[in-house]
Structure 1
C-alpha cells in the first residue's frame, strides 16, 4: 500500500474508510474503480491505472479476491523483460525462440495469432486446459518491454510456477 499512499497522498486507512463508507464490499469491480478514480488527485499521472491498483488492493484487503485473482474469479500471472529491440523485432525474437514449443508446463499451446495496434505488437495463444497467453511488445524509448500475460487459470496454486516458467522463457531472449 505504500506506493498507493505516496501516489494518492491518502493513507491506506483513509482509502479503506472511503470504500467502506460507499459500501464497496457489496459492489462490483468497476464500481469500486470508479470510487477510487473519483478520489485520485487531479495532478496524478496515470490516475486510471492508480484507481485500478487501489480498487484491487481494497478487494484483496476486504477478502473479495486473493492476490493473482481477477475480478472474474479466475487467476492470472505476468512477467516482463526489457529488450534492446524495436517492438516487432521483440515479437519476432519470441516467435523464433518459443513459437514452435509443443508444451508449456504440460499444456499444449493452440495456434498463435499475431496482431499489431498503433502502440503494441502481440503474439497470442490459448493453452489447452490452462487459459490464454498474450505476449505483448511495447516500445519504451529505444528499447521494448516484452510482457507475458497469462490469464484464465482455474486457481492460484500454480501462479509462482507459471511466473518462473514465463521468466525463464523471457530470459532466453
Structure 2
C-alpha cells in the first residue's frame, strides 16, 4: 500500500465513540450502501462535527475498500513537510530563487510559471506539472525563527505515484 490509511485509534475523544463503535454504527446504518456525502451526513446526524464526519467517512471508505489511502475523488494526493531554520519570508524567497529556472521536477515538465501569494499566516508557491498534477508549497512560521515547509501534491494519477512524488519532494525539501 503506497501510503498509510487514516489512523482510527484516536476517534473516541473527539467523536465520543471509538473506531469499533463507529464500525458497529456503520453496519447498523448500512453505510456501505451510501455515497460519500450520505455517509458524512449520517455521521453528522450522529453528533459528529463536519471535519470529523468527513474524517470518519474517509476512514470508513478505506476500511470497506471503496477508497485507497491518499485517494481524493478520482485522483490521489500526498504531502511532505520539513521544518527549517529561518523566517517565513526568507525561506519562501530562498525556495522561489532556487526554483526560478527549474523546468522539470522529478522528470516532469513544469507547465507554466510558478505563482506566489501571501496571507497573514502563510506564504505559497504553486506550480502545475505537465502530467496534470498540481503542487502547492506552503511556508508557515514556527517558534524559534523556523519555518515549516509543506509540499502538497494533488491530482496524482495513481496510488503508485504517491511514493514517487514523496521521494522527489522529500529530496527537494531536504535541500533547504
TM range (shorter): 0.7 to 0.9
**CA displacement at 1:88 relative to structure 2:** 2.3
**Structure 1 regions of 5+ residues with no counterpart?**
42-46
Number of aligned residues? 167
Give the ranges of 4+ consecutive aligned residues of structure 1 lying more than 4 Å apart after TM superposition. Answer: 37-41
In structure 1, the partner of 2:103 is: 102
Tell me how far apart the structure 2 counterparts of residues 163 and 85 of structure 1 sit (CA, whole Å): 23
TM-score normalised by the chain length of structure 2: 0.81
**Contact 1:74 1:152 survives alignment (8 Å):** yes
Alpha carbons of structure 1 residues 55 and 128: separation in structure 2 relative to 1, 3 Å: same
Single out whichever of 128-137 and 25-34 deviates more from structure 2.
25-34
1:36-75 to structure 2, matched below 5 A, reads 36-37=43-44, 39=46, 48-70=50-72, 72-75=73-76
**Contact 1:132 1:150 survives alignment (8 Å):** yes
**CA displacement at 1:6 relative to structure 2:** 5.2
**CA displacement at 1:48 relative to structure 2:** 4.9
1:3 is paired with a residue of what secondary structure? Answer: coil
Tell me how far apart the structure 1 counterparts of residues 120 and 35 of structure 2 sit (CA, whole Å): 31
Alpha carbons of structure 1 residues 36 and 89: separation in structure 2 relative to 1, 3 Å: farther
Tell me how far apart the structure 1 counterparts of residues 138 and 92 of structure 2 sit (CA, whole Å): 7
**Contact 2:123 2:139 survives alignment (8 Å):** yes
**Structure 2 regions of 5+ residues with no counterpart?**
1-7
**CA displacement at 1:114 relative to structure 2:** 0.8
Q: Which has the higher contact order (CA 8 A, sep 6+)?
A: 2
TM-score normalised by the chain length of structure 1: 0.82
In structure 1, the partner of 2:141 is: 139
Alpha carbons of structure 1 residues 7 and 66: separation in structure 2 relative to 1, 3 Å: same
Single out whichever of 86-95 and 17-26 deviates more from structure 2.
17-26
The structure richer in strand per residue is 2
1:138 is paired with a residue of what secondary structure? Answer: strand
Deviations 1:14-49 (A, max 9, x none): 1122233344334443443344455567xxxxx654
1:63 is paired with a residue of what secondary structure? Answer: coil
